[in-house]
């Protein structure tokens, strides 16, 4: 296989699965792709995951959470689509910036090569130059000698103009490396109309649109409220030219998303994929997944956690944090009931104890997550103060840690104007601020700490006890830091600084003294949590909340 820029592939040793979506967005392609990756790994195959997003942004780092949900950060500091979080939670496949590509990245790379004369005077076009860049990036992941199957999820919906270059590249793959090496999986919707009748026509049209682009799906995953009857799946198979057994019912799961791989396995999704790709694989071992689902079904105690944020009206905004809370609950053999509280509501409550008592009634733990911007900040400060004064376990992540610092400065150090320079540039008490060398940097993201950074934990601290070691590595995504100018004042007032960067220059973790469990961290531990290896901070936070009888 030869690309227009001269990169040559002679043979392909890997298999490739392209996952597309139809009818409408947000059907769960990411979970479907991750679940398929899970099943293949459980059969002993080595899997890699990749996401292709059709938007022109270079990455989602500049996008509003209301537009795109959370920004997932990889170990090497790439800001990516939240589906990479699903990949990392469901599989053991390593992820980096190479596993995420956007239309913006592709066009940026091609235009840069054109400006440098790399195309030797040729007219630069979508085909072959854009599609070749897409294929090159996929091959760079899939042709590693330690990879058996690469799963590529193509964002958007079939029929969108933005997705066409990615779909065309996917079409070319089967032509380039052979029919036996490429599989097309299409996720579509079977809507339920008034009266409870399921309609297959949208799926038929979706497959028709895909076939018009040159792609005949090999497997259909049909999203339905309930499992399809055999007659309906046969009808869909007939009208879409898909094998009867390859029409899979992706019905709504009532327990947890971690039951989805089990539901697909019962319908032989992994066996069908392996057969069509001509792969030899072992028998699937899903014991761990069965244990996780069993805890969700049988745990007899529920812990109610308040998630106090500013983007709570979109479910995907705090996706990794929500999942990490579930992981912590699994480790404690309990269920978790997450109560989302808009921090602006707390501001309206004027931080009066009577109002807060009502809002936090029955709450056993309070978590304040990351975020940017002034809106809702004072409400978060109220939440932190309420947790500190009432001995409620509190977990502050990134901004949530900075909120702990601001609240302590205002109410214990008696600096009522204390704030972050992000929210109040002229505050007299900038307890959170940019580093001096960052102030004049204007490029967006130029002052961000992104990806893996080391932190050293203080002996005897709660966070040191949770991790069980002195040196940790966690992922960061923030710009502002604890201001060392006020460090001595905080320490003298009983505030505990329990984590620093290894050189001691930056604060990474703080705690409340004489409190059941009040910890704030500058990093994002939720990105390193999985159902079978829950993050220790979430495990301990849920444990402390479970023991809280207030």
Residue 108 has pLDDT above 60, yes or no: yes
C-alpha 108 chain-centroid distance: 25
Flag the least confident range among 35-44, 166-175, 446-455: 446-455
CA distance linking residue 11 with residue 439, whole number of Å: 51
Percent of the chain with pLDDT strictly greater than 70: 94
Helix (H) or strand (E) holding 83: helix 83-90
- Report the pLDDT averaged over residues 312-331: 93
Residue 121 has pLDDT above 90, yes or no: no
User: What pLDDT score does 232 carry?
Assistant: 92
- Report the pLDDT averaged over residues 106-135: 94
Where is pLDDT greater, at 244 or 5? 244
Where is pLDDT greater, at 358 or 350? 358
Residue 124 DSSP symbol? P
Round the average pLDDT of the chain to a whole number and report it: 91
Residue 60 has pLDDT above 60, yes or no: yes
Is there a cis peptide before residue 128, judged by omega within 30 degrees of 0? Answer: yes
CA distance linking residue 172 with residue 260, whole number of Å: 30
Residue 482, both tokens:
């604890």
pLDDT band for position 313 (50/70/90)? confident
Number of other CB atoms surrounding residue 307 within 10 Å? 20
Q: Where are the domains of the chain?
A: 15-290, 299-547
Residue 216, both tokens:
């005949």
The residues annotated with a catalytic role in the active site are 398, 524, 526
What are the tens digits of pLDDT across the range 156-198?
A: 999 899 999 999 999 999 999 999 999 999 999 999 888 778 9
Class of residue 67 by CB neighbours under 10 A (exposed 0-12, middle 13-18, buried 19+): exposed
pLDDT band for position 143 (50/70/90)? confident
CA distance linking residue 308 with residue 312, whole number of Å: 8
User: What pLDDT score does 12 carry?
Assistant: 56
CA distance linking residue 527 with residue 321, whole number of Å: 8
- Report the pLDDT averaged over residues 44-69: 90
User: What pLDDT score does 82 carry?
Assistant: 93
Residue 204 has pLDDT above 90, yes or no: yes
User: What pLDDT score does 354 carry?
Assistant: 67
Highest average pLDDT, of 49-58, 65-74, 428-437, comes from 49-58
Residue 440 has pLDDT above 60, yes or no: no
What are the tens digits of pLDDT across the range 251-275?
A: 999 889 999 999 999 999 999 999 9
- Report the pLDDT averaged over residues 69-88: 94
Q: Are 118 and 133 in contact (CB under 8 A)?
A: no
What fold does the segment set 299-547 form as a domain? Rossmann fold (3.40.50)
- Cα dihedral 437, 438, 439, 443, rounded to 10, equals 140
Which residue blocks in 253-395 are alpha helix, DSSP H? 260-266, 269-277, 287-298, 319-331, 343-348, 353-359, 377-389
User: What pLDDT score does 102 carry?
Assistant: 96
Residue burial 217-250, b: 16+ Cβ < 10 Å; e: rest: bbbbbbbbeeebeeebbebbbeebebeeebbbbb
Residue 459 has pLDDT above 60, yes or no: yes
- Identical fold for domains 15-290 and 299-547, yes or no, is yes
The pairs formed by 139-145 with CB atoms below 8 angstroms and a separation of 24 or more are 139/1, 139/9, 140/98, 141/48, 141/50, 141/98, 141/99, 142/12, 142/14, 142/16, 142/48, 143/9, 143/12, 143/13, 143/14, 144/14, 144/48, 145/13
Residue 131 Cα distances to 11, 114, 182, 285, angstroms: 19, 15, 17, 38
User: What pLDDT score does 3 carry?
Assistant: 55
- Report the pLDDT averaged over residues 304-325: 92
15-290 placed in CATH 3.30.70.2860: no
């Amino acid at each position: 296989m030869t690309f227009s820029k001269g990169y040559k592939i002679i043979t392909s040793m890997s298999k490739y699965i392209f996952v597309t979506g139809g009818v409408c967005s947000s059907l769960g392609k990411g979970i479907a792709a991750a679940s398929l990756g899970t099943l293949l790994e459980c059969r002993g195959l080595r899997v890699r995951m990749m996401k292709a997003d059709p938007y022109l942004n270079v990455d989602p780092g500049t996008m509003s959470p209301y537009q795109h949900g959370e920004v997932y950060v990889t170990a090497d500091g790439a800001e990516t689509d939240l589906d990479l979080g699903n990949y990392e939670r469901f599989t053991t496949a390593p992820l980096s910036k190479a596993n995420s590509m956007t239309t913006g990245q592709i066009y940026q790379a091609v235009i840069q090569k054109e400006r440098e004369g790399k195309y030797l005077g040729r007219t630069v076009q979508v085909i072959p130059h854009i599609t070749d860049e897409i294929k090159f990036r996929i091959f760079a992941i899939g042709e590693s000698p330690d990879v058996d199957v690469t799963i590529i999820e193509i964002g958007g919906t079939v029929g969108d103009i933005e997705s066409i270059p990615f779909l065309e590249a996917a079409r070319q793959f089967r032509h380039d490396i052979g029919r036996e090496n490429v599989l097309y999986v299409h996720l579509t919707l079977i809507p339920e109309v008034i009266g409870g009748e399921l309609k297959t026509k949208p799926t038929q049209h979706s497959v028709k649109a895909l076939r018009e682009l040159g792609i005949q799906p090999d497997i259909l995953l049909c999203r339905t409220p309930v499992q399809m009857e055999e007659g309906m799946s046969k009808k869909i198979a007939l009208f879409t030219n898909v094998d009867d057994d390859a029409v899979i019912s992706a019905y709504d799961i009532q327990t947890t998303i971690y039951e989805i791989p089990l539901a697909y396995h019962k319908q032989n999704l992994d066996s069908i994929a392996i057969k069509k790709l001509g792969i030899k694989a072992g028998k699937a071992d899903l014991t761990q997944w069965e244990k996780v689902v069993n805890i969700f079904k049988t745990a007899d105690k529920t812990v109610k956690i308040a998630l106090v944020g500013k983007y709570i009206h979109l479910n995907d905004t705090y996706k990794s944090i929500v999942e990490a809370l579930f992981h912590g609950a699994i480790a404690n053999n309990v269920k978790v009931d997450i109560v989302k509280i808009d921090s602006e509501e707390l501001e309206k409550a004027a931080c009066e104890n009577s109002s807060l008592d009502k809002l936090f009634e029955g709450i056993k733990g309070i978590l304040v997550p990351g975020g940017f911007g002034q809106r809702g900040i004072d409400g978060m400060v109220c939440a932190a103060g309420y947790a500190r004064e009432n001995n409620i376990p509190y977990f502050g992540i990134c901004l949530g840690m900075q909120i702990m610092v601001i609240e302590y400065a205002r109410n214990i150090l008696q600096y009522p104007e204390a704030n972050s320079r992000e929210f109040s540039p002229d505050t007299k008490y900038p307890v959170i601020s940019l580093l001096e060398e960052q102030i004049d940097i204007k490029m967006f993201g130029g002052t961000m700490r992104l990806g893996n950074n080391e932190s050293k934990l203080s002996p005897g601290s709660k966070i040191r006890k949770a991790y069980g070691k002195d040196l940790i590595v966690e992922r960061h995504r923030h710009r502002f830091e604890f201001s060392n100018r006020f460090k001595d004042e905080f320490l003298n007032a009983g505030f505990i600084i329990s984590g620093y960067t290894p050189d001691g220059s930056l604060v990474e973790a703080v705690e409340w003294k004489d409190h059941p469990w009040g910890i704030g961290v500058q990093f994002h531990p939720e990105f390193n949590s999985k159902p079978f290896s829950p993050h220790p901070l979430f495990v301990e936070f849920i444990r402390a909340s479970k023991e809280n009888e207030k």
